């Protein structure tokens, strides 16, 4: 216990200080009621996120398109603080979580290469990963073709998985198998590092929190693949994320057979079935799952602090907070009445 206390005392204090500056109920209400995108950003700049919005506030209105890129700098700054404070393998868990955003940028890159778009045309879609990323992005963007870019990926952690997915792309000219291969390898990297953790408590918290995130992602992801894209059971199962906490392979196979949301819920184990009974839309499902995960996360801050769960809980919390901010932002300028669409998980709004 003393060893754990010594290891985590500094970073836990830092993370708890940052956690205390999260958006509160009043902030969410003001952001929701903001008249337009400009007033939304003006208020957001008075919160913790203000330090990351200076570039947008100085620029013309079109700079608002870059809000997502700028606001994610807050999340990646948190990743950097945590990684700096922890040695491997603990710090590597966060590189694994961070690699999910590298995967998203790679997906944007290969789509751009396939359609012939230059980087400047998709810049607003790219996460600002350069500070932490070990990938040679300049070299990838200089690639003259999609084939060359895919070949260059062999020097990255994503190379092997992309190579395995390449025959499907060549057979059907669909990027989706390559995109999913990059997403899935991120989670495999996470679980490889988690399995190397020496502390039983660290391993338990990592599995509970990241595994819970994977469970929520898989339920929403399977629903999209089955009910929107009409993928087969076998294809859907192949594209699920590894490492869930509650959903094992058998459960994933079961829900991949679902024909509608009601049947999907019927295949879930009791803890998840209880929270999703009665949900009939994907947007509602996503919000309910985020609430479920956020309750777990908030619970971590009420337990004894000397374990890796505090840091994992925070970066997942920050990610969901940013997602909610951006959902509200996108409604500005559109006719969306307050309360008509649920944009923020209830757990984010609740005060302790």
- Alpha-carbon distance of 48 to 52, in angstroms, equals 9
Domain boundaries, the chain: 1-86+314-352
Supply the pLDDT for residue 59.
64
Task: Give CATH for domain 1-86+314-352.
Answer: 1.10.132
Average pLDDT, the chain: 91
Element (H, E) at 333: none
d(CA 90, CA 221): 28
Mapping DSSP onto H, E and C, the string for 137-195 reads HHHHHHCCCHHHHHHHHHHCCCHHHHHHHHHHHHHHCCCHHHHHHHHHHHHHHHHHHHC
- The answer to whether residue 65 scores a pLDDT higher than 80 is no
Tens of pLDDT along 86-119? 999 999 999 999 999 999 999 999 999 999 999 9
pLDDT of residue 333: 74
Are 51 and 21 in contact, with CB atoms under 8 Å apart?
no
Q: What is the pTM of this model?
A: 0.93
Q: What is the chain's percent helix, strand, coil content, to nearest 5?
A: 70, 0, 30
pLDDT band at 9 (very low <50, low <70, confident <90, very high): confident
Q: How far apart are CA 249 and CA 259, in angstroms?
A: 18
Q: Which letter does DSSP use for residue 13 in this model?
A: H
Give CA 54 to chain center in angstroms. 24
pLDDT of residue 60: 60
Does the pLDDT value for residue 146 go beyond 70?
Answer: yes
Backbone angles phi, psi at 273, to 5 degrees: -60, -40
Quick one: pLDDT band at residue 350, thresholds 50, 70, 90?
Answer: confident
Quick one: CA dihedral 334, 339, 342, 345, positive or negative? Answer: positive
Coil/strand/helix, residue 303: coil
CA distance 92 to 343: 32
Q: Residue 151: what are its φ and ψ, rounded to 5°?
A: -65, -40
């Amino acid at each position: 216990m003393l060893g754990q206390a010594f290891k985590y005392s500094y970073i836990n204090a830092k993370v708890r200080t940052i956690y205390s500056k999260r958006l509160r109920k009043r902030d969410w209400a003001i952001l929701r009621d903001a008249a337009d995108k400009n007033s939304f950003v003006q208020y957001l700049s008075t919160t913790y996120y203000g330090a990351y919005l200076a570039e947008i506030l100085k620029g013309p209105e079109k700079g608002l398109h870059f809000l997502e890129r700028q606001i994610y700098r807050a999340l990646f700054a948190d990743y950097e603080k945590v990684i700096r404070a922890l040695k491997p393998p603990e710090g590597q868990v966060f590189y694994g979580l961070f690699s999910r955003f590298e995967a998203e940028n790679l997906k944007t890159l290969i789509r751009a290469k396939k359609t012939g778009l230059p980087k400047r045309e998709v810049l607003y879609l790219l996460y600002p990963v350069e500070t932490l990323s070990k990938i040679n992005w300049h070299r990838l963007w200089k690639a003259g073709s999609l084939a060359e870019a895919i070949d260059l990926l062999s020097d990255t952690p994503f190379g092997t998985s992309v190579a395995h997915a390449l025959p499907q792309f060549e057979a059907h000219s669909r990027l989706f198998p390559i995109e999913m291969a990059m997403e899935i390898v991120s989670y495999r990297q996470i679980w490889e590092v988690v399995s190397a953790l020496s502390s039983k408590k660290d391993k338990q918290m990592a599995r509970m929190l990241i595994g819970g995130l994977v469970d929520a992602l898989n339920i929403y992801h399977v629903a999209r693949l089955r009910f929107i894209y009409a993928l087969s059971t076998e294809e859907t199962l192949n594209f699920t994320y590894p490492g869930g906490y509650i959903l094992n392979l058998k459960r994933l196979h079961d829900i991949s057979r679902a024909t509608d949301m009601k049947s999907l819920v019927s295949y879930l184990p009791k803890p998840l079935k209880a929270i999703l009974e009665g949900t009939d839309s994907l947007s509602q499902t996503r919000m309910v799952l985020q609430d479920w995960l956020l309750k777990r996360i908030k619970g971590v801050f009420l337990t004894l602090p000397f374990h890796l769960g505090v840091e994992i809980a925070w970066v997942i919390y920050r990610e969901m907070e940013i997602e909610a901010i951006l959902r509200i932002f996108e409604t500005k300028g559109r006719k969306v009445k307050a309360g008509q669409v649920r944009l923020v998980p209830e757990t984010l709004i609740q005060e302790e």
